Structure 1
Amino acid sequence: MAVAALPRHAEGHGAVTNRASCVVRRAWVLAFAIACGSEQPQGYQSVADNIIVIIPRGATYYQALDSLEARGVIESRDWFSLYARLRGLPSNLKSGVYMFTPDESWNSVVSTLKKGRGLEARFTVLEGMMGFEVGERARSWLGVPRDSFAAAMRDTSLERELGIRPSPAGVEGYMYPTTYVVPMRMRARDLVKLMTHEFIARWQPEWDARLAELHMTRHQIVTLASIIEAEVRYTPDRPYVSAVYHNRLKRGMALQADPTVVYAHGRRLRRVWERQLQIHSPYNTYLNPGLPPGPINQPSDSSLIAALYPAQTGYLYFVAQPDGKHIFSASYADHLAAIKRVRQRPPPVQRPPGPPRPARRQ
């Protein structure tokens, strides 16, 4: 309830009385606000009884108070506003998703809104996730619109800000795979920026020196690492798969990497068939020489290291075995033989003969 303004009096005794009344009134309001804002002893409170309040980005001070009042966190916006102003809330209000108990004290409400300690969520990017899969997880876990995430990934101003070479897929490959603790309501651009900043923070200074030795750019290495990530399940094979690709690049051979064909199709394929190898896309390394325009997923550190430090071998081919390990070959003839061995089914196991059956009685 707002306090009505007092009538203005003439100078003299009446003015002194008026000023004294104002002092008393303000002291009473302050005492009342402090009493209302003091911590109250609270018993057990079920999480199901808690109140969720969303303060959108850009909301005004009074819009925030309206939300608190509408949700039942405070009973009177005007009385709470007096206390909140004394605590400096108007200039320190933080947007976010907040959870309060039904009997939350004013002091606690103001402290929470000033510090921005809203609800947080864990958001995990898995190694090898494609950009659209990260976006789908952001939608289902954090409520980030799919279109907004896709636009943020391809935000050229963000690429320039982060020093990332522009590519058709934007920051694909640079959203570092790990678990993040983020606000429940987060803009797509802020989320993408957080993940790419993490990638830059994890990039080791000695890797830049290694780039010079390989005569390759960071973008090329991240692209190669993403292909290795998609190809290899058995981690010890990563440097050898990397060696195959490095050797083929040096010889001007097509990489012929199935994961690039999968990426060109824009969805996960259970198996790559011959007809799917003919898709016209700059990412198809069967039809286009060299590396694709950019990464095809978010590679792990082990794949980045493998791309930077390939094994010293002359291998040019490899074929995967059912257990995820690979057979490597330096010649095409050996490669065909390896494929034949992998495709051959093991002969059926012969059971040893059992004991003779007893003769049936006549």
Structure 2
Amino acid sequence: MNKYIKILLFLIIFSGLLTGGYFFILNQINTPVSGQFKEQSFVIEKGESLKEISEHLEKEGLINQDYWFKFYVLGKGWAGRLQAGEYTLSPSMSILEIAENLAEGKTISDISITIPEGFTLKQIDSRLTQVGLIDKGGLLNFNQKEFLILNSQFSISNLEGFLFPDTYKFRKDNSLEEIIRKILNNFDKKLSEDLRAEIQKQRKNIFEIITLASIVQNEALTNEEMPVIAGVFSNRLTIGLPLQSDATINYITGKNLRQPSIKDTEVNSLYNTYLHKGLPPGPISNPGLDAIKAAIYPQKTDYFYFLHPLNGPTVFSKTLKEHNSNKAKYLP
């Protein structure tokens, strides 16, 4: 037989073997153990290896051979991505589907929680407690300073202001440190390089911006008026007028009043911006991105005053005389 024919035959046979092998592997990965839909719980403990998970899947009858699960996961580069937690799986799922579920952490024990814009540390503690993620007071009594020194790039000693408002998913077994780290990482992502560059350009620091943003967040009735309110506060800071923010008074008293009483505005606290000029010692809430942007890019305005009527939109004034007139007109 001509040697070229032999080579050709070899290539044909080899190609056939490769093709057959390819489809055999695809069959192993894509074909479920059973066509019967029957859900069952499957738990991955923290620290379990790919080998242990594969063997456990085979033992539970969710896959035929642990080898093919390991083969697929290693081929995808997911060995380090399989997440601990409780899952709902079925023998009617293929290796591909099971691997994707485990790599994406689609657990049934996920707890979804929303932190609204303007929530304080105390309110976040209460919400985490309500869903069973922490014991009451766990966040408030947490050693924030030590944690932040080790885990935050910002020069801060308190979490207030830096727990970014958003919707989060946590596992029931997440530690408080893991919860805080996830929220802080989100803050880090949301504060873009452009925003950081603008803060630096203005020769300010992130702590100052977040402190102002937290006040703007709790003073503004709408996102649209945030830049104007930030502009008012910027004007007052520039000429040395006290901010006289009612939101800072509410932070001290724990009340939620549109118009604090005169007695409340006289309370002795460094957070009392009626008594003390400049920004308070730190943020009074955890502001959203709109408030942060407003603090970075305040609207240029001639306003130095504003008030909140009990029923109606915010009213702005340029002079004290105009402001007093508006108080007589809009406030009881």
TM-score, L = length of structure 1: 0.65
User: By how many angstroms is 1:274 displaced?
Assistant: 2.4
**Residue type of the alignment partner of 1:331:** T
Residues in 1 aligned to 2:172 and 2:84: alpha-carbon distance in whole angstroms: 11
Residues in 2 aligned to 1:126 and 1:99: alpha-carbon distance in whole angstroms: 30
Query: Do 1:149 and 1:189's aligned partners in 2 also have CA atoms closer than 8 Å?
Result: no
Query: Do 2:117 and 2:286's aligned partners in 1 also have CA atoms closer than 8 Å?
Result: yes
Residues in 2 aligned to 1:210 and 1:231: alpha-carbon distance in whole angstroms: 24
User: By how many angstroms is 1:159 displaced?
Assistant: 4.8
User: By how many angstroms is 1:85 displaced?
Assistant: 9.7
**Residue type of the alignment partner of 1:118:** T
Residues in 2 aligned to 1:269 and 1:343: alpha-carbon distance in whole angstroms: 13
Deviation readout 1:86-105 (Å, 9 max, x if unpaired): 9779x98853233456x889
Alignment CA distance shift 1:266-1:185 (3 Å) = farther
Q: What is the aligned partner in structure 2 of residue 223 from structure 1?
A: 211
Query: Do 1:172 and 1:297's aligned partners in 2 also have CA atoms closer than 8 Å?
Result: yes
1:41 aligns with 2:35: yes
Q: What is the aligned partner in structure 1 of residue 126 from structure 2?
A: 136
User: Which of residues 176, 181, 187 is equivalent to 1:188?
Assistant: 176
Q: What is the aligned partner in structure 2 of residue 162 from structure 1?
A: 152
Query: Do 1:176 and 1:195's aligned partners in 2 also have CA atoms closer than 8 Å?
Result: yes
**Residue type of the alignment partner of 1:40:** S
Q: What is the aligned partner in structure 2 of residue 123 from structure 1?
A: 113
Query: Do 2:111 and 2:169's aligned partners in 1 also have CA atoms closer than 8 Å?
Result: yes
Alignment CA distance shift 1:56-1:257 (3 Å) = farther
1:279 aligns with 2:286: no
Q: For residue 274 of structure 1, give the secondary structure of its aligned residue in structure 2.
A: coil
**Residue type of the alignment partner of 2:219:** E
Deviation readout 1:248-288 (Å, 9 max, x if unpaired): 11222221111112222346457622222233332222232
Deviation readout 1:138-163 (Å, 9 max, x if unpaired): 22235233343335582433355322
Equivalent pairs, count = 292
Query: Do 1:233 and 1:324's aligned partners in 2 also have CA atoms closer than 8 Å?
Result: no
Alignment CA distance shift 1:42-1:274 (3 Å) = farther
What RMSD, in angstroms, separates the aligned Cα atoms of the two structures? 4.0
User: By how many angstroms is 1:338 displaced?
Assistant: 0.8
User: Which of residues 87, 91, 95 is equivalent to 1:98?
Assistant: 87
**Residue type of the alignment partner of 2:218:** A
User: Which of residues 185, 188, 198 is equivalent to 1:197?
Assistant: 185
Query: Do 2:211 and 2:283's aligned partners in 1 also have CA atoms closer than 8 Å?
Result: yes
Larger Rg over CA atoms: 1
Q: What is the aligned partner in structure 1 of residue 159 from structure 2?
A: 171
Alignment CA distance shift 1:53-1:172 (3 Å) = farther
Q: For residue 140 of structure 2, give the secondary structure of its aligned residue in structure 1.
A: helix
Query: Do 2:151 and 2:181's aligned partners in 1 also have CA atoms closer than 8 Å?
Result: no
Runs of 5+ consecutive residues of structure 2 not aligned to the other structure: 1-27, 74-78
Query: Do 1:223 and 1:291's aligned partners in 2 also have CA atoms closer than 8 Å?
Result: yes
TM-score, L = length of structure 2: 0.71
Alignment CA distance shift 1:335-1:150 (3 Å) = same
Deviation readout 1:307-328 (Å, 9 max, x if unpaired): 1122222322111134552222
Deviation readout 1:110-156 (Å, 9 max, x if unpaired): 95996454223432221111122222222223523334333558243
